């Protein structure tokens, strides 16, 4: 019986060792499988949510485009440079000797800080013309796509000895501030 008992103990120990070996080798894999199954479920839910995310993105993109169009319609642009030449070209009227007798543009002073981001370049436009031409210049300033502030307007009767010209000539001095946002070299990394 001792031998049978020893065989039973050996068999029991062999079975217990086999169970322990299977347990130690299978448990980590089973645990990793469980965590991967949870991760797969999370990814599946994210993938199923991509369709709604794409729809939301499309809707948000359309709303952004509408907002940009509204901004462009209702707001003036603020360029990075003053572009005095472009402004002069936009506001100039042809000097024809009938309606417009003379016009000059002059930068009055150095740029001034309007705020932390903006600078103002003072510009003066002197115009010897009839009232309709002066009004046309003011209308052009108002319809510019960029932000230009009219800081002063002085209109006087012209002092001309020519009776044809004196009858309709006015002397206008229009003070403008060109608003622009210069690019800061620290921000651009130059």
pLDDT higher than threshold 80 for residue 13 = yes
- DSSP-assigned beta bridge partners for residue 21: none
Most confident of 38-47, 68-77, 105-114, 136-145: 136-145
SS3 state of residue 189: coil
> Binning pLDDT at 50, 70 and 90, where does residue 165 land?
low
**What is the mean predicted confidence (pLDDT) over 65-79?**
84
Mean pLDDT of the chain: 83
pLDDT, tens digit (0-9, with 9 covering 90-100), for 25-34: 777 777 888 8
Cα–Cα distance measured from residue 92 to residue 156, given in angstroms and rounded to the nearest whole number: 20
pLDDT higher than threshold 70 for residue 164 = no
Q: Which residues contact 84 (CB under 8 A, 6 or more apart)?
A: 105, 107, 121, 123, 178
In the CATH scheme, what is the homologous superfamily, with its name and number, of domain 84-186? Ribosomal protein S6/Translation elongation factor EF1B (3.30.70.60)
Q: Check residue 189 and give its pLDDT.
A: 45
Domain spans of the chain, in order of start: 1-75, 84-186
Contact 100, 93 (CB under 8 A): yes
> Binning pLDDT at 50, 70 and 90, where does residue 64 land?
very high
Is beta strand 119-129 parallel, antiparallel or unpaired with respect to 100-107? antiparallel
Cα–Cα distance measured from residue 123 to residue 51, given in angstroms and rounded to the nearest whole number: 55
Cα–Cα distance measured from residue 34 to residue 26, given in angstroms and rounded to the nearest whole number: 12
């Amino acid at each position: 019986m001792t031998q049978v008992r020893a065989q039973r103990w050996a068999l029991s120990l062999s079975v217990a060792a086999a169970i322990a070996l299977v347990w130690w080798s299978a448990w980590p894999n089973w645990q990793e499988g469980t965590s991967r199954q949870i991760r797969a479920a999370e990814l599946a839910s994210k993938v199923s949510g991509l369709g709604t995310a794409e729809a939301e993105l499309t809707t948000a993109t359309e709303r952004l485009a509408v907002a940009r169009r509204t901004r462009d319609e209702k707001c003036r642009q603020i360029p990075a440079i003053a572009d005095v030449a472009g402004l002069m070209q936009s506001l100039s009227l042809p000097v024809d000797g009938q309606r417009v007798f003379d016009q000059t543009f002059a930068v009055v002073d150095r740029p001034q800080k309007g705020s932390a981001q903006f600078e103002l370049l003072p510009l003066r436009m002197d115009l010897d013309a009839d009232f309709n031409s002066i009004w046309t210049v003011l209308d052009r300033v108002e319809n510019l796509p960029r932000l230009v502030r009219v800081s002063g307007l002085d209109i006087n009767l012209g002092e001309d000895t020519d009776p044809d010209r004196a009858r309709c000539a006015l002397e206008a001095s229009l003070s403008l501030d060109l608003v622009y946002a210069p690019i800061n070299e620290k921000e651009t990394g130059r």
